[in-house]
Structure 1
Amino acid sequence: MSIRDWPEGERPREKLLALGAEALSDAELLAIFLRVGVSGRSAVDLARDLLSAFGGLRPLLEAERARFCAERGLGEAKFVQLQAVLELSRRHLASRLDREGALTSPALVRAYLASRLRHLGHEEFAALFLDSQHRVIRFESLFRGTLDSASVYPREVARRALELGAGALILAHNHPSGVAEPSDADRRITERLKEALGLFEIRVLDHFVVGDGEVVSFAERGLI
């Protein structure tokens, strides 16, 4: 049966308009993105098949191009469309940070950093550069690869902060293992950066470690 033949209250688009997006299941939301199904399968059926094949919504959204495009009902056009949607989401979070300020919206900072770092299969060290009023200047990725105290260069972070006229910054990096617990190396990196940036009166306000399901704040743990 086509979705058009379903009762109006069960059709994903009509349900979203009536109840809001939060009322829809992952499959229903994905069906709206897909728009159409394939032979013998409605868009909702196809969405359920895809969620099962990928092991859930997040693995589907973060799938590599070749893997994504190989699935029936997807392809390059859908991959491009999805990347655009994800980037719009990241930019929306960034614009909210610009308006609301980093320190007044800790949950928003977490969400934004997770959107930038959680999906990466490698370690990446980044900073949210802030002005003297703690408004966001820019987010930048600074170092990539296995991170330890020898691979993160305080002088490079300080140089970039001075170039941007930053008065403070929030550090962030991801753990591809999915475990967000700060390591001894994370603590050492943070202390070295605090000392180096302090020479220029640039404050390190926090350091977030992004894991699979959690984002840990050094400030909240009393580690900074």
Structure 2
Amino acid sequence: MHFKLFPSESMPREKLLTRGPQALSDAELLAIFLRTGTPGMNVLELSDFLLRESGSLRALFSASKAQFCAHKGLGEAKYVQLQAVLEMTQRYLAETLKRGEALTSPQQTKLYLSCVLRDRQREAFYTLFLDNQHRVIQDEVLFEGTIDAASVYPREVVKRALHHNAAAVILAHNHPSGIAEPSQADRRITQRLIDALALVDIRVLDHFVVGDGEVVSFAERGWI
């Protein structure tokens, strides 16, 4: 049966079922999320309009409640639904990461850290605490604000690592500017943390810097 025989609202769903979600455009995926259009505009037209108005799917999904609800066809109920979907996605990635060894799935680790940190408006310093088999025990945002030598306290990182009985850690922080290239301050902080954690026999396995669409690994650069 051809798609033209289906109502426009059902076309993305049929396409997903026959070809998989990766075959859908941003507008088609958004149409499935929205489910219905507005008077004079079917759901695909509404989706296309919203993407053009907001600039991108990511911009729409990372908008504040007020910004999101200001768009035509969107309201508080859709905002709540979206936040639930985004949180489930983050928890799914976290659970997937915790099931295996963080070092054997670097792309999964990068994906998870990007999901957690990329859209934050302020810098956040994040730590994955690992057991002796490099499985994730816990993850925490330890510091927020401008990440520099004055605001990241090695003793607090050591304290939390000991609290979780961690054998190793993976560090991460975001650059709200979107540029993932590590600074000299990033490298100095990393070395201070390596030295502090080494005193209690805890290894720093990597430090990821999350930008807009890119995640830089200190280990891949040969800096750890």
TM-score by length of 2: 0.96
Cα distance in structure 1, aligned partners of 2:4 and 2:142: 51
Paired residue for 1:147?
147
| Runs of 4+ residues over 3 Å off in structure 1 | 5-10
Q: CA deviation at 1:98?
A: 1.5
Cα distance in structure 2, aligned partners of 1:33 and 1:130: 36
Paired residue for 2:64?
64
Contact 1:170 / 1:204 at 8 angstroms: preserved in 2?
yes
Paired residue for 1:171?
171
Secondary structure of 2:148's aligned partner = coil
Cα distance in structure 2, aligned partners of 1:29 and 1:185: 40
Cα distance in structure 2, aligned partners of 1:143 and 1:208: 15
Secondary structure of 1:103's aligned partner = helix
TM-score by length of 1: 0.96
Cα deviation per residue 1:9-41 (whole Å; 9 max; x = unaligned)? 970111111111111100000000000000100
Tell me the number of residue pairs that the alignment of Structure 1 and Structure 2 aligns.
Answer: 220
Q: CA RMSD in A?
A: 1.2
Secondary structure of 2:110's aligned partner = helix
Contact 1:124 / 1:141 at 8 angstroms: preserved in 2?
yes
Could you tell me which runs of 5 or more consecutive residues in structure 1 were left unpaired when the two chains were aligned. Answer: none
Moved more, 35-44 or 93-102: 93-102
Secondary structure of 2:182's aligned partner = coil
**Alignment map for 1:117-132 (pairs within 5 Å):** 117-132=117-132
Paired residue for 1:49?
49
Secondary structure of 2:109's aligned partner = helix
**Alignment map for 1:1-224 (pairs within 5 Å):** 6-8=4-6, 11-224=11-224
Cα distance in structure 1, aligned partners of 2:59 and 2:133: 38
Could you tell me which runs of 5 or more consecutive residues in structure 2 were left unpaired when the two chains were aligned. Answer: none
Cα distance in structure 2, aligned partners of 1:7 and 1:99: 44
Cα distance in structure 1, aligned partners of 2:64 and 2:4: 34
Cα distance in structure 2, aligned partners of 1:76 and 1:190: 42
Moved more, 6-15 or 48-57: 6-15
> Which one-letter code corresponds to 2:5 in the other structure?
P
Percent identity over the alignment is 63
